Amino acid sequence: MAKQIQNKSLQKLANLRRQHKGLINLMPLQTGGMLTDAAKEALVEFGDGYSVCDFCQGSLCNVTNPPIRDFVQELLPQFLGCEVATITHGAREAKFMVMHSLAEPGDSILVDANRHYTTVVAAERVGLHVIEVPHSGHPEFRVDVNEYASLIKKHAPKLILLTYPDGNYGNLPEAGRLGEIAQEYNIPYILNGAYAVGRMPVSMEETRADFVIGSGHKSMASAGPVGVLGMKKKWEETVLRKSGTYSNKEIELLGCTIRGVPLITLMASFPHVKERVNNWDEQVSKAQWFSAELEKLGFKQLGEKPHRHDLLHFDTPVLYEISRRVRERGYFLYKELKERGIWGPQPGLTKSFKLSTFAADRQQLGFVIDSFKAILSKYS
């Protein structure tokens, strides 16, 4: 019996396929990380183990074949508007690196209430007290960065962090204003741009941040996990400090940073990513149009208005009402959209859900709008 169960489990691994491949993709976690053709080619070329390390002499960021050194030491700093950059095992590791190297257990960190859960987990791992700057609540969930100042005076945090934008509502707080506050109180400022870097123009210099963090698999068209971390030169020796035993290995990165497929796809997609951020105004216009059309159907967009990001969150009472009287309950919407070639809300969600317009063109989004109209008509 045990052998039969094992064989069935092995069979499941023999033909792995994605259920949603080829559908119009509105999934926020995926739209900014969809691989370019160049990345897919590089994935196959360098997919064997640590093949990017074939010519490594001890320091990954100094490898010249493939041109990792040029990417990390020249192209990334220019793109991020920073002085020093490195690559990490995702944005969460980048946050932990900064917290661990600049703060001590028992210190405090001030974060926005829309922060990603990994911000809290990283802080807990370091032993920091997390203090939240509140948002305005339903429906905008807006963070007023000016409120950081009073909490800095009250709690004297070692670090401050702003999520730009947040992954729930796509709000873009005043990052530059917070930079002014950080400089006034001389507190290191982390800008978490996991849903910004690679989608829209982001400059650490312009925001006056000390650190800027990006996510390759969320917003830079790469396989995951992979992140980028930019910083001011003055923090390099602390955050990227070397081992006393192995002089070319960074302690916070456990010697070597991300390798293999995530890194090579990040590099291969970079020319495309660098170009696409120049089209951000069209992305915002497209998202605002799409949101306005869905609101005509009874959806209610949460977050700031006018909205300035492709990530959208909707309250959908009209769909929730349908789910309460159909046999499939909340799964009816997932089924209806999938039959129409659309991948968006998670299965079971009808009361509220998030969508991203980043990877779809206006024609595809028009089809999505018409599909929602047809679904509402069908169940009316």
pLDDT top residue among 8 and 192:
192
Residue 72's contacts (CB-CB under 8 Å, 6 or more residues apart) are: 61, 85, 86, 87
Return phi, psi of residue 42, to 5°: -65, -35
Nearest residue to 94 via CA among 265, 254, 228 = 228
Mean pLDDT of the chain: 94
Domain count, the chain: 2
| Residue 13 belongs to a domain | no
Which H or E element spans position 112?
A: strand 108-112
**What percent of the chain is predicted at pLDDT more than 70?**
98
Amino acid, res. 9: S
Task: Out of 257, 276, 295, pick the residue that ends a domain.
Answer: 276
Predicted local distance difference test score (pLDDT) of residue 55:
80
In terms of domains, do 308 and 216 share one?
Answer: no
Share of the chain above pLDDT 90, in %: 84
Domain of residue 366, CATH code: 3.90.1150.10
Are 87 and 215 within 8 A, CB to CB? no
Name the pLDDT band for 14 (thresholds 50, 70, 90): confident
Domain contains 7: no
Tell me, yes or no, whether 75 lies in a domain: yes
- Among candidates 355, 288, 370, 374, which has minimal Cα distance to 315? 355
Instruction: Please tell me whether residues 96 and 173 are part of one structural domain.
Output: yes
Q: Are residues 31 and 41 in the same domain?
A: no
In a domain, 154, yes or no: yes
pLDDT in tens, 69-96: 999 999 999 999 999 999 999 999 999 9
- Asked if 239 and 249 touch (Cβ cutoff 8 Å), the reply is no
9 lies in a domain? no
- Is residue 229 within 8 A of residue 43, CB to CB? The reply is no
Local structure of residue 113 (DSSP, 8 states):
T
pLDDT at 2: 63
Number of H helices, E strands in the chain: 16, 12
Give tens-digit pLDDT for 174-192: 999 999 999 999 999 999 9
d(CA 266, CA 12): 30
Q: Is residue 158 part of a domain?
A: yes
**pLDDT of 360 above 70:** yes
Q: Are 217 and 342 contained in the same domain?
A: no
Q: Are residues 46 and 183 in the same domain?
A: yes
Helix (H, G, I), strand (E, B) or coil at 287: helix
pLDDT of residue 332: 96
Residue 162 DSSP SS3:
strand
Same domain, 125 and 90: yes
158 with 183, same domain?
A: yes
- CB 164 within 8 Å of CB 175: yes
Identify whether 1 is part of a domain. no
Same domain, 98 and 186: yes
Q: Of 276, 306, 330, which residue is a domain's last?
A: 276
- Exposure on the CB side of residue 101, measured as CA atoms within 13 A: 22
The mean pLDDT value for 155-178 works out to: 98
Q: Is pLDDT larger for residue 82 or for residue 3? A: 82
pLDDT at position 254 is 87
Same domain? For 30 and 43 the reply is no
The shares of helix, strand and coil residues in the chain, as percent rounded to the nearest 5, are 45, 15, 40
Q: What is the longest distance spanned by two Cα atoms in the chain?
A: 70
Report the DSSP pairing between strands 311-315 and 342-343.
unpaired
**CATH no. for residue 243?**
3.40.640.10
- The pLDDT of residue 349 is 93
CA-closest candidate to residue 291, choices 313, 322, 319, 318:
313
CA angle 295, 305, 152 (to 5 degrees): 140
* 320 shares its domain with 371: yes
In a domain, 214, yes or no: yes
State the pTM of this model. 0.95
Say if strands 189-192 and 159-163 run parallel, antiparallel, or are unpaired.
Answer: parallel
Statement: residue 37 has pLDDT above 70: yes
For 304, the domain range is 20-35+279-378
pLDDT of res. 48: 79
Same domain, 310 and 268: no
One domain for residues 25 and 42: no
Of 276, 302, 320, the position where a domain reaches its end is 276
With beta carbons less than 8 A apart as the criterion, state whether 353 and 344 touch: yes
